[in-house]
Amino acid sequence: MDASDPWIVRKLDHLGQEVISYPAQLLFKTPKSVLMRAVWEQPPMDLENVRLEPGDLWLETFYADRWYNVFEIRAPDGGLKGRYCNITRPARIISGEIRAEDLALDLWVDPDGRTSLLDEEEFGRLPLTLEERIAAQQALEGLLEAPLACWEDPLPEVVVGHLLRERGFILAAAESCTGGLLSHRITNVPGSSDYYLGSVTAYANAVKERLLGVPRDVLETWGAVSQETALMMARGVRRLLGADLALSVTGIAGPGGETPGKPVGLTYIALVAPDGEWVEGHCWTGDRSANKAASASAALALLRWYLAR
């Protein structure tokens, strides 16, 4: 079937009975996984940690060899609501259809990586075999060890590379707190020169001002770590390098640098495109290395949403 043909996702209970089904579009496929795009088209629904509303975009990954699936939920304006990690039996993936048997246990990951474990009691009551229960618990333990990485297989830099090439867009980046890590990840993908021009690592304010054109009054009024500066950085590198799309990252990686109202981990990410501009803020809770990695991942996630809209 053609990649643009619609698929059907069927969510089943532990007995294999269908609970819900919905159409989805295939975005990326590996031998053991599929990344799907779906839009919530039903009436609003309140779940324990999130309200699903018409127009919400789901980017959902199913695995044929893992006891979970994960889906990222974004509002129509791109705002990240969070990610659900559903403990399931390995998905059955056939051409045009996915069947996933839910085992009740869920992990919610909020936009900044904080987690909530849901429905443990319901999971405990399911009539599973010992082998199934062990496999499910091991899957949960793996997700809890790295909740922000739960959506990173297939790697987002590989996915966005595929989508950039498919859509014919050229990308550039401006980085401050990530120090080139975002560019490193993008260029780790073979053939990335087809769609990636390069980046400006504007660590000092003087570089932000001179190379990227961030106005001095913006830096003095709002600070280097602000949504205003992130947006100006993305606009500047898009103009400087002549790209279609531009990402920027600015933040406080830590352990120092905290100021009143701006804690360690605070990060702003911007995306500038021909048809819009988006800025999102995060407050990571890891060490310096983890905060830099989370910021690069969040930038790729924002770009992935844009390309999947």
Confidence of residue 63 (pLDDT cuts 50, 70, 90): very high
Other beta carbons within 10 Å of 238? 27
Confidence of residue 302 (pLDDT cuts 50, 70, 90): very high
Q: Which of 151-155, 250-254, 262-266 has the lowest mean pLDDT?
A: 151-155
**pLDDT above 70 (res 1):** no
What is the per-residue pLDDT for 148? Answer: 85
pLDDT tens track for 86-134: 999 999 999 899 999 999 999 999 999 999 999 999 999 999 999 999 9
- The average confidence (pLDDT) of the chain is 96
CATH of 6-149, one of 3.30.465.10, 3.10.20.30, 3.40.50.970, 2.40.380.10: 2.40.380.10
What is the per-residue pLDDT for 3? Answer: 61
Residues forming beta bridges with residue 99, ordered by sequence position = 10, 92
Place of tokens 């990326």: 28
The average pLDDT across 38-59 equals 95
Where do the structural domains in the chain lie, given as residue ranges? Answer: 6-149, 156-308
H-helix or E-strand spanning residue 136: helix 130-145
Architecture of domain 156-308: Alpha-Beta Complex (3.90)
Residues forming beta bridges with residue 73, ordered by sequence position = 58, 82
233 in Cβ contact with 208 (< 8 Å): yes
**pLDDT above 70 (res 85):** yes
